A and B are shown apart, each in its own frame.
Chain A
């Protein structure tokens, strides 16, 4: 059974860097791909970006200049880095995974539990 467990700082000040990690259990980074999605308070889902087992990364153009999605295959960890955060980045952040060869759009069949990140001075 595939499980994702995520963690990271939940309270940031404006201009700081958001860093989240997602531990992957039950699925190898080979032949799969991985993404981050966020949900602003009371709003819908927003795709942040994803990384394929080949190392190819795709990012939401609205966040591309500030975001990095990476994997540490040795640790089976997925990471999200978002720089220069503002209050507009306050959201629940989810990691998620899709199995098989990358096909767009990714059908994320397993999600992490979510990490609430608040940005406030």
Chain B
């Protein structure tokens, strides 16, 4: 994937974890936002963060996003068992003229 995410992260309940999404000048460059999705097992993805740092409707403030240059991060504080899921970043690839997703990160709550 042109957007690189760590395959897995883990944390204990109550802890804070960060998932990174690293792109290139053609994928996470200036002017293009990043969005984050959560996919619980066996379900469709759900929009978590849009426009780099805006929480989608109903998303708790434990989730936050940021973007700097050609990388972005999703932070989850106060980790809860129900946060165990796959997380994907999404941005735009100017070389492809279309959306691209990161490879996904599996979050395990210990």
Contacts and interface: CB of A to CB of B under 8 A. Distances in A.
Nearest to A112: B44
Size range of the interface on B? 20 to 34
A106 interface: yes
B50 A109 contact: yes
A47 B45 contact: no
A105 B91 contact: yes
B33 interface: yes
A45 B88 contact: yes
Given A107-B51, A109-B47, A111-B44, A44 B35 contact: no
Interface of B: 1, 32-35, 37, 44-47, 50-51, 56-57, 88, 90-92, 96-104
Interface of A: 35, 37, 44-47, 49-50, 58-61, 94, 103-109, 111-114
